[in-house]
Chains A and B, each alone.
Chain A
């Protein structure tokens, strides 16, 4: 946890460098001009959102495994629930940024801020379903029930992630298909890659800090109930 400020600082440094190159060094796109520079934050936001929601999937599976096969000493692996809460919140934050950047980019290129295109629609559904998981958590006070319900709903919500990724290939979409390092010029790929790592490190730092909040809040709640986190009775 003490590493998180350093990871975050490295992320910010990479974002400054990547954004500087993306804004002032990389050439403007042949067709879209300077508006294409939004890509250097838009695409990393998308990747980071996917990474955060994948972390939440792993955390949900970890918690569900603990429910199906409880530890012999009766202890709960609360770390999974803390990680789930933090990764979903950070993922939703980056997902909201993704949608807003996309809308700003869409207006001059597509003529509208929003259209019910398969990619945009699946992203909206994914974002709303993970927001629903966070809302569910705020409605359930009992920690074990909250953790189990949010793990199960996370598994359901995660179905949207591959749908978002493949939506541009499976259905006719205004949104372009994924670019790779082979399909775009190195001058464009360089700031994109630097910013991608910058976003990733910042997201890791956010998740680390947010996990600490989740752990402290849950420990305080359990201490108030006279069932500490190490008490096996918190079922």
Chain B
């Protein structure tokens, strides 16, 4: 290594944390919306049946 740029592990850790953290948050948001959508669909089905 020439030593032109060394270190910057803080930036690497920030980029990886941001990436995988955001993916995790997005997964949770999709799972929550799935539950909400399923509940709304069931409620609509029950309303239609009655």
Contacts and interface: CB of A to CB of B under 8 A. Distances in A.
A interacts with B: yes
Interface of A: 8, 15, 19, 23, 28, 30-35, 37-38, 41-42, 45, 93, 96-97, 100-101, 104-105, 107-109, 202, 206, 209-210, 212-213, 216-217, 219-220, 223-224
A86 B20 CA distance: 19
Interface of B: 1-2, 4-9, 11-12, 14-16, 18-20, 22-23, 26-27, 30-31, 33-34, 37-38, 40-41, 44-45, 48
Nearest to A101: B15
Interface centre among B2, B11, B41 (most CB of A within 10 A): B11
Given A33-B4, A38-B16, 4 more contacts: A34-B6, A93-B23, A97-B23, A100-B15
Contact of A104 (B15, B23, B26, B27): B15
B16 A216 contact: no
Given A31-B4, A206-B26, A213 B15 contact: no
Contacts of B48: 223
B40 A220 contact: yes
Given A206-B27, A209-B30, A209-B31, A34 B12 contact: yes
A202 B30 CA distance: 13
Contacts of A41: 15-16, 19
A37 B12 contact: yes
Contacts of B20: 15
Given A23-B12, A105-B11, A223-B48, A32 B40 contact: no
Nearest to A96: B22
Given A45-B19, A216-B37, A30 B2 contact: yes
A42 B18 CA distance: 11
A42 B5 CA distance: 19
A93 B15 contact: no
Contact of B5 (A8, A33, A96, A101): A33
B37 A220 contact: yes
A107 B8 CA distance: 10
B32 to A, nearest CB: 10
